[in-house]
Amino acid sequence: MNSFHFKYLLFLLLFLLSQTVYGQDNTTACISGTLIIDDTWEPKVFLSHIPTFEDMNMMSAEMIVAETAIDSFGRFNFNIDFLPVEKNIYRLHLVKKGNPPAMLIIGGKDENHLFLIANRYSNIEITSVFSYPPFRNVTFSNTPENINFQKIKELVFQADSVSSESGAAKRKLIANNLEKQLLQIADTSNSFLVSLYAIYNSNFASNYTSNIPFYKTYLKKWRNNNNPYYKAFKQKIPLKTKNNILLTLLIVFVGSSATFILWKNSNKTKNKLKKLSIQERNIFELLQKGASNQEISDHYNIGVSTVKSHVSSIFSKLNIKSRKDIINFK
């Protein structure tokens, strides 16, 4: 073997090794798929960047980073080599004909969006069959993270569906079981964003104080992921120091009777509010501030008809009859 052949083979070996080690080929970086929709939808798909998990139900024109057409066969394709190296949460969404691009529909048969994890090296293939809502029956290829991301969404959807048809005792069992499943996923997943998505679906903001050791260990485990998702999550659970705990115990000791009464009333309220979905709780908070349907629609960039549907559901689940009752709800 002469020196030229040897150098060529060495170059080829190094090239193949680099592809194996890094797995990064910008020429294949894309989000593509098949999406079968009817003629009530614009034949376009929009891609938005979601900077934190708190922004998942928010929409603005500034969040949209790309759009692409859906062809006559239902195919679409995004070239994503402009995305950052770090993995982030993104949202695909459609809009009804005549609606502006920045229109988010939450819940119902016209729910129009799908979340996924991607970076500039991702090669994501999506397949969806014709259904309502259009992103309900979606499968992912080439991306285990998004398969697991989708499983979490389906897990929550199934629990909510069963819970909505159940009595209070059964709803509590379903909620407790769902929380255990989600925390198990959060504890065992090798993907930070999948893990954190599970926690955000576990209603952690209300329950983290009952499981402080878990969250201390969790924050320590993922502290190297010091990105906006981690920082926003950490701000949600400011774990107490020893001095704060001692002060809290002293306050509880001095005012134990009053605290018990407040706790009892608070539990009644929490049990009622647990009947609401995440979207309904968001809308409930604005209703308590006296917001109109149009103001809620503008705040979340969702249709007024969708707001009305959520408000009606809130009235039914909380057994109240007017917005005044919501404002006075304790």
Segment 6-35 mean pLDDT: 56
Query: How confident is the model over 231-236, as a mean pLDDT?
Result: 91
127 and 224 assigned to the same domain: no
Please identify, among 209, 239, 269, the residue that sits at the C-terminal boundary of a domain: 239
CA distance 213 to 196: 16
CA distance 193 to 189: 9
Instruction: Assess whether 114 and 83 both reside in one domain.
Output: yes
Question: 155 and 111, same structural domain?
Answer: no
pLDDT-above-70 percentage for the chain: 81
Alpha helices in 189-303 (DSSP H): 192-200, 204-207, 212-221, 228-236, 242-254, 256-273, 278-288, 293-300
Is residue 90 within 8 A of residue 116, CB to CB? The reply is yes
Confidence band of 264 (pLDDT split at 50, 70, 90): low
Any idea which of 25-29, 142-146, 287-291 has the lowest mean pLDDT?
25-29
Place 243 in a pLDDT band, splitting at 50, 70 and 90.
Answer: very low
Q: Are 135 and 172 in the same domain?
A: no
Q: Which of 232-236, 240-244, 321-325 has the highest mean pLDDT?
A: 232-236
Residues 6+ apart with CB under 8 A from 130: 36, 37, 38
In a domain, 20, yes or no: no
pLDDT score of 172: 87
Report d(CA 27, CA 325) in Å as an integer. Answer: 58
* Structural domain boundaries enclosing 70: 26-142
Nearest to 51 by CA among 86, 84, 90, 92: 90
Residue length, the chain?
Answer: 330
Most confidently predicted of 4-18, 187-201, 236-250, 277-291: 187-201
| Packing angle, helices 192-200 and 168-188, rounded to 10 | 160
Q: Does 154 lie in the same domain as 128? A: no
- Coarse DSSP helix, strand, coil percentages of the chain, rounded to the nearest 5 percent: 55, 15, 30
In whole angstroms, give the CA distance from residue 173 to residue 155: 15
Give yes or no: residues 43 and 126 share one domain: yes
The answer to whether residues 84 and 131 belong to one domain is yes
Q: Tell me how many domains the chain contains.
A: 2
pLDDT band at 260 (very low <50, low <70, confident <90, very high): low
- How far apart, in Å, are the Cα atoms of 124 and each of 20, 33, 35, 78, 116? 18, 8, 14, 10, 9
110 in Cβ contact with 16 (< 8 Å): no
Q: At what angle do helices 192-200 and 144-163 cross, to 10 degrees?
A: 10
Tell me if residue 139 falls in helix, strand or coil: strand
The pTM for the full model equals 0.68
Is 234 part of any domain? yes
Q: Tell me, what CATH number does 30's domain have?
A: 2.60.40.10
233 assigned to some structural domain: yes
Count Cα atoms within 13 angstroms, Cβ side, for 61.
Answer: 3
Label residue 192 by pLDDT band (50, 70, 90). Answer: very high
Lowest mean pLDDT among 117-126, 206-215, 321-330: 321-330
With cut-offs at 50, 70 and 90, classify the pLDDT of residue 217.
very high
| Span 107-119, average pLDDT | 92
Average pLDDT over residues 275-292: 85
What is the DSSP annotation of 43-64?
SEEEEEEE-SGGGTT---GGGE
* Confidence at residue 270, expressed as pLDDT on a 0 to 100 scale: 57
pLDDT averaged over every residue in the chain: 83
Average pLDDT score over residue span 57-64: 94
Question: In the predicted model, what is the mean pLDDT of residues 69-87?
Answer: 95
Q: Are residues 125 and 32 in the same domain?
A: yes
Q: What angle do CA 262, 207, 323 make, to 5 degrees?
A: 60
Q: What is the predicted pLDDT for the residue at 314?
A: 85
60 and 136 belong to one structural domain? yes
pLDDT value at 190 more than 90: yes
Question: Residue 33: beta bridge partners?
Answer: 76, 126
* Residue predicted with more confidence, 318 or 118: 118
Residue 35 and residue 133 in one domain: yes
DSSP state, 41?
Answer: B
Residue 215 has pLDDT above 50, yes or no: yes
Residues 63 and 167 in one domain: no
Are residues 103 and 43 both part of a single domain? yes
Strand order in the sheet with 30-35: 75-79, 30-35, 123-128, 138-141
Which of 45-49, 180-184, 267-271 has the weakest average pLDDT?
A: 267-271
Residue 283 lies in a domain: no
